[in-house]
């Protein structure tokens, strides 16, 4: 009897130890990958903060400024489709590590540029690294956290928000202190050194995040995913949802200033509040999606986003209402993405890297043409008709998610 009780105690202690180890592994993994996404965002946004002095220093033409701004997005789009498939075949931690090293190193090299060709090349190659990191890091989070993937992806997405603010801040502060645009590119990727070390530390956890057994996948498996009705519809949804939200990242401060007539400072502060609201939406509704059917929640969020856009663009009467509408817009439009990616992972049938590589490919395509449309609407002076760039795609996205919701479960709970 004493021996039996002793065995029970030892077994209980072993279970607790495994639980503590699992919690620590989960915490470290999510922290490292979220920091990696923050470096990704900081490297992407630092250019915006010093674009004016950089273009003056390198004597760039208007067309060269546009190409340089787009270079990183083009690089991401070239790689993001293949990254998930490569990781499913050869290992996630290797692809994540390579992506981190590439986009950190080549962002640093931009600070050494002496002409447009060098700056464009370095910016483009850094985008290749980002395209390798993005879907594979998401796949690792989604497969490791399984039943809590919605919450985990919501936290992961916060890294992009934090990194975006950090990139703009680092760029502005570095330029104000040095009167040169170059130090901004030397400082922004520094956190990448620690993230690379972190990836090496969590290598074993990344291997356990769903890699084993997936290495047998064929390249054609990626394309076969598109043959599944739900997956094809989700890819279209990813493109439309991203299309409807990109204008906020590129032009929301400008919209506050140009159309709603706030000051530059007020516009910047309001945009920051919208981003913070989006962070709450990602974590809150991303986590909530783990408890209910994701298809239903995604439909509700999409409708709420459409209504929020309508109120923001057409029901502005005073500052308090403007702020409430803007916060609602930020909260719901941002929360779409962790819920959407978790649903894609649910439908991937073990090919999570390949599936998220597909969804991020469609998102990357939207990040290229959506700002062009928004800029055109501003250029021709149509003001609030910029709502077309937001409301039309999210309206079509609602129709898509209705089809997804009514198309059957395909054996997937969510």
Query: Does 68 reside within a domain?
Result: yes
The answer to the question of residue 211 being in a domain is yes
- Residues 355-383 have a mean pLDDT of 79
Which of 163, 182, 215 finishes a domain?
A: 215
Same domain, 69 and 133: yes
**203 belongs to a structural domain:** yes
Q: Who's near 60: CB < 8 A, 6+ residues apart?
A: 54, 68, 116
pLDDT tops 60 at residue 263: yes
Answer with the one of 190, 215, 240 that is the final residue of a domain. 215
Same domain, 146 and 283: no
Nearest Cα residue to 136 out of 23, 36, 221, 24: 36
Closest of 128, 130, 117, 119 to residue 43, by C-alpha:
130
pLDDT digits (tens, 9 = 90+) for 85-105: 777 777 788 889 999 999 999
What residue numbers bound the domain in which 288 lies?
A: 218-408
291 falls within a domain: yes
Output the domain CATH number for residue 133: 1.20.1250.20
pTM for this structure?
A: 0.81
Number of domains in the chain: 2
The region of weakest confidence among 13-17, 89-93, 250-254 is 13-17
Domain for residue 400, yes or no? yes
Q: Is residue 232 part of a domain?
A: yes
pLDDT in tens, 294-326: 999 999 999 999 999 999 988 766 788 888 999
pLDDT at 81: 78
Which pLDDT belongs to residue 321? 87
Q: To the nearest 5 percent, what fractions of the chain are helix, strand and coil?
A: 85, 0, 15
- The residue among 215, 248, 271 that closes a domain is 215
More confident residue, 164 or 149: 149
257 and 208 in a single domain? The answer is: no
CA distance 414 to 291: 10
What is residue 409's predicted lDDT score, i.e. its pLDDT?
52
Does residue 248 share a domain with residue 394? Answer: yes
Q: What b/e sequence results for 305-322 when a residue is b if at least 16 CB atoms lie within 10 Å of its CB, and e otherwise? A: bbbbbebbbeebeeeeeb
Same domain for 183 and 279, yes or no, is: no
Indicate if 206 and 258 belong to the same structural domain. Answer: no
By CB neighbour count within 10 A (0-12 exposed, 13-18 middle, 19+ buried), where does 99 fall?
Answer: buried
| Phi–psi pair at 350, nearest 5 degrees | 95, -15
* Within-domain flag for 139: yes
The C-alpha atoms of residue 302 and residue 304 are separated, in whole angstroms, by 5
Give start and end residues of each alpha helix (H) in 58-146. Answer: 62-90, 92-110, 116-145
Tell me how far apart the alpha carbons of residues 292 and 88 are, in angstroms, rounded to a whole number: 28
Q: What angle do CA 298, 246, 154 make, to 5 degrees?
A: 45
Claim to verify: residue 308 and residue 376 sit in the same structural domain: yes
For residue 303, what pLDDT is reported? 97
Please work out, in degrees rounded to the nearest 5, the angle formed at the alpha carbon of residue 103 by the alpha carbons of 98 and 108.
130
Tens of pLDDT, residues 192-242: 888 988 888 887 777 765 544 344 455 556 667 777 768 889 999 999 999
Highest mean pLDDT among 26-35, 65-74, 314-323: 26-35
pLDDT in tens, 50-68: 888 888 899 988 778 878 8
What is the model's pLDDT at position 22? 66
b/e code 20-33 from CB counts within 10 Å (16+ = b): eeeeebbeebbebb
- Same domain, residue pair 34 and 177: yes
257 and 297: one domain? yes
Q: What is the mean pLDDT of the chain?
A: 82
| End-to-end Cα, the chain, rounded Å | 47
What is the Cα–Cα distance from 262 to 258, expressed in whole angstroms? 8
Mean pLDDT of 157-181: 85
pLDDT of 170 strictly over 60:
yes
Q: In this predicted structure, which of 32-46, 102-116, 256-270, 388-402 has the lowest mean pLDDT?
A: 256-270
Asked if the model's pLDDT at residue 186 lies above 70, the reply is yes
Q: Do the domain assignments include residue 159? A: yes
Q: Which of 124-133, 168-177, 355-364, 373-382 shows the lowest per-residue confidence on average (mean pLDDT)?
A: 373-382
């Amino acid at each position: 009897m004493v021996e039996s009780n002793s065995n029970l105690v030892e077994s209980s202690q072993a279970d607790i130890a495994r639980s503590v180890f699992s919690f620590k592994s989960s915490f470290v993994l999510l922290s490292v990958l979220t920091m990696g996404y923050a470096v990704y965002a900081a490297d992407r946004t630092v250019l915006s903060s010093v674009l004016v002095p950089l273009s003056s220093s390198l004597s760039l033409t208007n067309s060269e400024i546009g190409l340089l701004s787009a270079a990183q997005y083009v690089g991401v789009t070239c790689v993001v489709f293949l990254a998930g498939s490569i990781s499913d075949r050869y290992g996630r931690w290797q692809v994540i590590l390579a992506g981190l090293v590439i986009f950190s190193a080549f962002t640093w090299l931009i600070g050494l540029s002496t002409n447009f060709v060098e700056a464009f090349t370095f910016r483009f190659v850094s985008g290749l690294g980002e395209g390798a990191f993005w879907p594979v890091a998401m796949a690792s989070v989604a497969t490791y956290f399984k039943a809590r993937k919605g919450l985990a992806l919501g936290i992961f997405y916060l890294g992009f928000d934090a990194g975006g603010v950090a990139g703009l801040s680092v760029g502005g502060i570095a330029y104000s202190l040095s009167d040169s645009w170059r130090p901004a590119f030397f400082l922004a990727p520094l956190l990448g050194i620690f993230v690379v070390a972190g990836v090496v530390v969590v290598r074993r956890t990344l291997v356990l995040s769903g890699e084993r057994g997936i290495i047998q996948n064929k390249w054609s498996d990626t394309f076969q995913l598109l043959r599944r009705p739900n997956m094809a519809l989700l890819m279209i949804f990813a493109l439309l949802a991203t299309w409807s939200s990109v204008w906020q990242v590129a032009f929301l401060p400008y919209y506050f200033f140009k159309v709603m007539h706030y000051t530059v400072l007020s516009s910047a502060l309001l945009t920051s509040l919208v981003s913070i609201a989006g962070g709450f939406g990602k974590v809150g509704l991303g986590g909530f999606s783990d408890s209910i059917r994701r298809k239903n929640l995604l439909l509700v969020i999409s409708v709420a986003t459409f209504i929020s856009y309508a109120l923001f663009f057409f029901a502005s009467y005073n500052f308090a209402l403007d702020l409430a509408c803007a916060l609602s817009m930020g909260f719901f439009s941002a929360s779409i993405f962790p819920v959407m990616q978790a649903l894609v992972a649910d439908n991937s049938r073990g090919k999570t890297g390949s599936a998220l590589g597909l969804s991020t490919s469609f998102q990357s395509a939207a990040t290229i043409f959506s700002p062009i449309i928004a800029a055109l609407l501003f250029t021709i002076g149509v003001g609030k008709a910029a709502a077309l760039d937001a409301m039309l795609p999210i309206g079509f996205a609602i129709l898509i998610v209705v089809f997804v919701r009514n198309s059957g479960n395909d054996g997937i709970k969510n």
